[in-house]
């Protein structure tokens, strides 16, 4: 017999009550812990669980030329997305076969996206073709977590490429993503060059968000809270450029056989009318997905087609610089219109002889510009001195960025006493270094854009304007056009002195004995200056700067042809054609430009890299 308690003893009844009470206490404590203590954390988790955020891509802004012609259009592009949490790994092969791509590349993107959020869609392939889109669309039911988004894709309806000016959009890189902050996510497209980059925040618009409730299988059930938290995407702003698409296309066609650049500016407001850099590229290769081969080819091409020669190069301006030396000399009272020298075809300084093209005889400042007399400027620059040269260069905007709104540009180089001291050592350089600067040779460099602005300042009688490609921005919400303010300032050259220089430039083009006769445009008076920049790496670079009409200038232009030789024969006619096209809408004469001698590409590359 075992020792037992009485049946139903009161003590045992109490023990049972206590045990039940204790167990309920545990349940209550746990309830308190979950619902109050961990509420915030678990509440957030429940939201993440059941709400998927779908990004609605905005329509990127359009780009119009100055006459309202559509230059950059937008079309739909379809991007496949995957929600990492909802995607079944077993479907990877199927998905990649629909998309005709490697499973690994899809997997890599999902893995990368998962690290950011398991519940947000990751873009796995952009700009899929119609076959892939229909395959995906038809099989969505067997591909949980897979969806697609509509994004903008660029189209270029005009003949103008304007590759370097318009720039391009590209899928955001990891480095950009790290810098750009919250707005962007992996797979987004971002303006990466030219106007697309510098006006990115205007053009891109604002993404919209759609919150969709999903069930545990990741199936979409409909909008969350009737879409009251949704945000519609905001369309990007349109840009209205100062560019004339016809002139741009025409200028590009003139450069078919050349490396180099054309920049045309409206001297009255600083608006860029055309900007060409050759060789260029077809911007539409960037509109969808850029295959790595294409990108690498563009990047590795020895002629550097991605490089914007209009803003990023530094070429000695050659004789086109003579107006600046003249302006410094006249304005400082070193010479006046009556000052004459006799040119014997060469100038001796120290133990070196500096050559001229020919013997010009008795020459004043106007004739020196007209005939491009080197001897006149060799002796003049010694009188002007390095400090004055530097100061007047600054007034015309050399040696400093122009502030153009397309992003990257070079400041150029204008030597100063400090510069020579730094490079050669104090007291180890002589006035002889100065002599070649008088004719724009030597350690001096300017971009075609700087040269065009200089030409524009000479055209408008001395106002230096900030060059810009965008005139107006249209706000798509208010539909209002917003103008953009630009800097401008006087170069500070007296009317009389400016007239002397402009007269010299007029004679260059219009008078017999001028070096720029080939830039002459029928029925109109133009002005200009040719230049031939000596190039230690190969054939000389060919320059022309000019403007027209002479009395009421509407266009200023700078033309640079790499290794094309004498400025008067190649750059000058191109400048003339561009002016004519812009002023008359067409060129009604036989167009002939002597083809350039082809230098070796390697030498060009060296020159460009310099």
Partner 1 sequence: MNTYFKEYFDYKSLGICLALVGAGLISIYSATFDINNAANFDRQVVWTMVGFVALVVAAYFPLKTVQRLAIPLYVATLAMLLIVLIIGKTTSGSKSWFDFGGSFRLQPSEFAKVITVLAFAAFLSKTTVTIGNMKHLIVGLTIFALPMGFVLAQPDLGTSVVFFGVMVPLLYWAGASRFMFAAILAPILVAFGALLGTTAFLIAVVLSGLLLFVTRENNFAAALAFGITLAVGLSVQIVYERLPTYQRNRIATFLDPGHDPLGAGYNVLQSKVAIGSGGLLGKGYMKGTQTQLNFIPEQWTDFIFCVPGEEFGMLGASVVLILFASLLFHGIKVGELSKNKFGSMTAIGITAILATHVFINIGMSMGLMPVIGIPLPFLSYGGSSLVSNMIMVGLLMNVYANRKSY
Task: List interacting residues with partner 1 (CB under 8 A).
Answer: 1-10, 12-13, 15-17, 20-21, 23-24, 26-28, 30-32, 34-36, 38-39, 41-43, 45-47, 49-51, 213-217, 221
CB nearer to partner 1: give 216 or 353: 216
Structure tokens belonging to residue 488: 């401008």
- d(CA 208, CA 58) in angstroms, rounded, equals 7
Q: Which is nearer to partner 1, 52 or 395 (CB)?
A: 52
The C-alpha torsion from 126 through 127 and 131 to 134, rounded to 10°, is 70
Closest CA to 144 of 213, 209, 77, 95: 95
* Smallest distance from partner 1 to CB 88, Å: 12
Closer CB to partner 1, 86 or 438, in the complex: 86
- Please state the closest distance from residue 41 (CB atom) to partner 1, in A: 7
- Tokens 């301006």 belong to 317
Rounded to a whole number of angstroms, the minimum distance from the CB of residue 96 to partner 1 is: 24
Closer of 17 and 484 to partner 1 (Cβ): 17
Structure tokens at 62: 């359009």
- Nearest residue to 239 (alpha-carbon basis) of 283, 263, 204, 274: 204
Comparison of 38 and 183: residue with beta carbon closer to partner 1: 38
Sign of the alpha-carbon torsion through 47, 51, 52, 57: negative
Rg, C-alpha atoms of the chain: 34
Would you say 47 or 387 has its CB closer to partner 1?
47
Q: Name the 3-class secondary structure at 538.
A: coil
Q: Are the C-beta atoms of 395 and 491 separated by less than 8 Å?
A: yes
- CB hemisphere CA count around 362 (13 angstroms): 3
Alpha-carbon distance 252 to 373, whole Å? 32
Q: Which two tokens stand for residue 559?
A: 């033309």
Nearer to partner 1, 23 or 178 (CB): 23
DSSP code of residue 488: E
Scan for tokens 């590009």, then name that residue.
252
Which residue in 158, 361, 117, 172 sits closest to 245, CA to CA?
A: 158
- By beta-carbon proximity to partner 1, the closer residue of 213 and 249 is 213
DSSP conformation letters of 298-354: HHH-TT-TTS-HHHH--B--GGGGHHHHHHHHHHTTS--TT--EEE-SEEEETTEEE
For the record, the structure tokens of 222 come out as 């409909």
Query: Which one, 10 or 536, has the nearer CB to partner 1?
Result: 10
Between 43 and 157, name the residue whose CB sits nearer to partner 1: 43
For the CB of residue 6, give the shortest distance to partner 1 in the complex, in Å.
6
CB of 89 to partner 1, least distance (A): 12
Nearest 5°: the CA angle 376, 378, 383 is 95
Least CB distance to partner 1 at residue 185 (A): 24
Question: What is the closest distance, in whole angstroms, from the C-beta atom of residue 1 to partner 1 in the complex?
Answer: 6
- Cβ proximity to partner 1, 32 vs 584, nearer residue: 32
Cβ proximity to partner 1, 31 vs 150, nearer residue: 31
Rounded CA separation 564/158 (Å): 29
| Residue for token pair 């206590």 | 18
- The least distance separating partner 1 from the CB of residue 228, rounded to whole angstroms, comes to 14
| Nearest residue to 433 via CA among 352, 369, 356, 541 | 352
Half-sphere exposure of 75 (CA within 13 A, CB side): 9
Residue 220 CB partners (closer than 8 Å, separation 6+): 52, 212, 213, 214
Closer residue to partner 1, CB minimum distance, 30 or 179: 30
- Measured from the CB atom, the residue of 49 and 256 that comes closer to partner 1 is 49
d(CA 526, CA 322): 18
* Residue carrying structure tokens 């209002």: 480
- Residue 536 CA to residue 570 CA, distance in Å, equals 20
Output the smallest distance, CB 52 to partner 1, in A: 11
* Least spacing, CB of residue 104 vs partner 1, in Å: 24
Asked, as a colleague might, if the bond just before 279 is cis with ω within 30 of 0, I would say yes
């Amino acid at each position: 017999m075992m020792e037992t308690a009485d049946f139903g003893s009161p003590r045992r009844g109490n023990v049972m009550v206590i045990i039940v009470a204790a167990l309920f206490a545990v349940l209550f404590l746990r309830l308190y812990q979950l619902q109050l203590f961990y509420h915030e954390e678990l509440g957030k988790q429940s939201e993440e669980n059941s709400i998927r955020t779908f990004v609605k891509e905005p329509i990127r802004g359009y780009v119009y030329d100055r006459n309202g012609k559509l230059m950059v259009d937008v079309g739909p592009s379809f991007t496949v997305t995957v929600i990492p949490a909802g995607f079944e790994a077993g479907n990877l092969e199927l998905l990649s076969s629909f998309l005709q791509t490697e499973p690994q590349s899809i997997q890599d993107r999902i893995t990368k996206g998962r690290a950011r959020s398991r519940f947000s869609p990751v873009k796995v392939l952009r700009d899929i073709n119609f076959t892939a889109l229909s395959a995906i669309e038809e099989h969505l039911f067997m591909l949980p977590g897979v969806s697609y988004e509509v994004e903008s894709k660029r189209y270029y309806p005009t003949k103008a490429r304007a590759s370097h000016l318009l720039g391009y959009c590209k899928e955001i890189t990891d480095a950009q993503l790290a810098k750009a902050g919250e707005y962007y996510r992996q797979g987004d497209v971002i303006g990466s060059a030219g106007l697309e980059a510098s006006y990115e925040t205007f053009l891109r618009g604002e993404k919209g968000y759609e919150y969709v409730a999903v069930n545990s299988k990741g199936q979409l059930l409909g909008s969350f809270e009737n879409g009251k938290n949704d945000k519609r995407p905001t369309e990007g702003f349109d840009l209205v450029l100062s560019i004339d698409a016809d002139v741009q296309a025409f200028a590009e066609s003139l450069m078919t056989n050349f490396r180099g650049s054309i920049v045309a500016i409206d001297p009255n407001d600083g608006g860029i009318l055309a900007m060409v850099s050759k060789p260029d590229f077809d911007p539409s290769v960037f509109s969808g997905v850029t295959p790595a081969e294409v990108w690498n080819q563009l990047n590795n091409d020895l002629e550097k087609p991605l490089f914007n020669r209009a803003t990023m190069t530094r070429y000695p301006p050659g004789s086109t610089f003579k107006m600046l030396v003249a302006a410094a000399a006249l304005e400082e009272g070193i010479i006046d219109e009556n000052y004459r020298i006799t040119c014997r075809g060469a100038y001796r300084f120290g133990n070196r002889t500096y050559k001229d093209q020919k013997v010009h005889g008795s020459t004043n400042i106007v004739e020196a510009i007209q005939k491009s007399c080197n001897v006149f400027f060799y002796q003049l620059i010694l009188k002007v001195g390095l400090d004055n040269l530097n100061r007047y260069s600054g007034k015309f905007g050399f040696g400093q960025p122009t502030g153009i709104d397309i992003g990257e540009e070079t400041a150029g180089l204008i030597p100063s006493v400090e510069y020579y001291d730094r490079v050669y050592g104090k007291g180890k350089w002589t006035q002889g270094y100065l002599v070649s600067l008088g004719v724009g040779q030597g350690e001096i460099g300017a971009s075609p854009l700087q040269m065009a602005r200089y030409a524009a300042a000479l055209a408008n009688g001395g106002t230096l304007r900030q060059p810009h490609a965008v005139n107006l921005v249209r706000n798509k919400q208010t539909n209002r056009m917003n103008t953009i303010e630009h800097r401008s300032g006087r170069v500070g050259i007296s009317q009389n002195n400016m007239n002397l220089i402009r007269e010299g430039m007029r004679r260059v083009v219009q008078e017999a004995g001028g070096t720029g006769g080939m830039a002459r445009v029928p029925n109109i008076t133009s002005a200009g200056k040719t230049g031939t920049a000596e190039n230690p790496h190969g054939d000389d670079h060919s320059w022309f700067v000019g403007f027209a009409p002479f009395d009421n200038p509407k266009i200023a232009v700078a033309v640079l042809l790499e290794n094309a030789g004498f400025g008067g024969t190649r750059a000058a006619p191109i400048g003339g054609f561009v002016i004519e096209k812009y002023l008359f809408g067409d060129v009604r004469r036989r167009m002939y430009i002597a083809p350039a001698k082809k230098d070796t590409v390697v030498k060009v590359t060296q020159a460009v890299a310099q």
